[in-house]
Amino acid sequence: MLRRTFTISLLALMASSPAFADAISDAMAEVQKYAGQKTTWDGPTAGPAAAEGKSIVVLAGDLKNGGILGVTKGVQEAADRIGWTINVLDGAGSIQGRAAAFGQALALNPDGIIINGFDAVEQQAALEQVKAAGIPIVSWHAGPVIGPDAASGIFANVSTDAMEVSAAAAKWAFADAGGKPGVVIFTDSTYAIAIAKADKIKETIEALGGTVLEYVDTPIADTSTRMPSLTTALLQKYGASWTHALAINDIYFDFMGPALAAAGIAGDGAPKAVAAGDGSESAYQRIRTAQYQAVTVAEPLNLQGWQLIDELNRAIQGAEWSGYTSPLHVVTADNISFDGGDNNLFDPGNGYRDEYARIWGK
């Protein structure tokens, strides 16, 4: 009955204000572009054959982060196919841990390094040492720019278009709120890409006429301890005016649910959680069961792991980067069953494994 009442009210509002109705329908149309199945390969079809017998180090920012873990699994899967050895070092969510991992990586003298899920600027001194040693580097989410980053010595930074991800999340919230969202945005200023994404969310919500209630800068590494009390405080501060929680990735919502439940809010109630990035296993589970997350704008984490191996193979052999930007996917309860959703991840059914293997001659 509540859903029927909301629908009738929204239709009445739209009928009384055609321009307002157009803004809502236009926002949802933009979102729907990213909600369909991905069945066609749009990535590279040519490149160098596999370099043989390479040893690679993966520097993971924090393997507790579902996005970083998903990419790492993809890297391992692709490495097995191309025939390379992988050594994964976990930065464990701290600057000191990532610095120590870099030191270990240099001591191993690998044929290539993959930076997985932390800001390249943070470890600039270590990157200078890697460049001096002539070791090729590729990265996932090491900065806001996709592709080569000459300043940091990164051959290619792999990502979806972070600004499209952020805009899609914001537009879904705007449309879902009937054009009147009250939004709290969660980000982490430790990472340049996180700030860029959060700023894009804020810009999009405000340009559409929604309200940003608060812009919360809280460290990703501290979400388990900070999010429960933050959630309670924000509920007390904003009450029913807080319609949507938007975060730069899913990990913020790993720890929000218990505080919402304690406040008597149903799993599908407001504030609705919308993540602008990753598409972690836990996020898929929450969306499927309608338990304190409505949307994740997922990245193809496993595919991106394969792309990292392909880009590193190009770097090792002196080729150009592939130029590929991987697709994003707006995941909701309505479309969660396809493109890998049954396995709790966005894994496009576009044949990417066979396409990369064909390029490598494997």
167-224 pLDDT, tens digit per residue, is 999 999 999 999 999 999 999 998 888 999 999 999 999 999 999 999 999 999 899 9
pLDDT single digits (tens) 82-134: 999 999 999 988 889 999 999 999 999 999 999 999 888 888 888 899 988 99
- The predicted pLDDT at position 9 comes to 43
User: Encoding tokens for residue 157?
Assistant: 């930074």
What integer pLDDT is reported at residue 350 of this predicted model? Answer: 94
Quick one: how far is CA 338 from the chain centroid? Answer: 18
Q: What is the pLDDT of residue 311?
A: 98
Four-residue CA torsion sign, 168, 170, 171, 175: positive
Considering just the CA atoms, what is the radius of gyration of the chain in Å? 21
Greatest Cα pair distance in the chain: 68
Q: State the Cα–Cα distance between residues 211 and 153, nearest whole angstrom.
A: 40
The sheet carrying 272-275 orders its strands as 211-217, 182-187, 244-247, 272-275, 295-298, 329-331
| Nearest alpha-carbon partner for 267 in 333, 221, 214, 213 | 333
CATH 3.40.50.300 is the classification of domain 55-159+301-326? no
d(CA 25, CA 29): 6
Question: Are 105 and 57 a contacting pair, CB within 8 Å?
Answer: yes
pLDDT of 15:
43
Q: Above 60 in pLDDT, residue 78?
A: yes
**pLDDT single digits (tens) 41-76:** 999 999 999 999 999 999 999 998 888 999 999 999
According to DSSP, residue 65 is labeled: S
- In terms of phi and psi (left: phi > 0; alpha: psi -120 to 50; beta: otherwise), the region of 339 is left
162-298 fold: Rossmann fold (3.40.50)
The residues, ordered by sequence, that sit 6+ positions from 233 with a Cβ below 8 Å of its Cβ are: none
Both tokens of 296, joined, read 């994740």
Which of 32-46, 172-186, 262-276, 300-314 is predicted with the least confidence, judged by mean pLDDT?
Answer: 32-46
Token output for 348: 């496009």
Domain-wise residue ranges, the chain: 55-159+301-326, 162-298
The pLDDT tens digits of the residues spanning 234-265 come to 999 999 999 999 999 999 999 999 999 999 99
Cα-based distances in Å from 184 to 167, 242, 330, 331: 15, 7, 20, 20
The mean pLDDT value for 27-39 works out to 90
Average pLDDT over residues 8-30: 65
* Res 13 pLDDT > 90: no
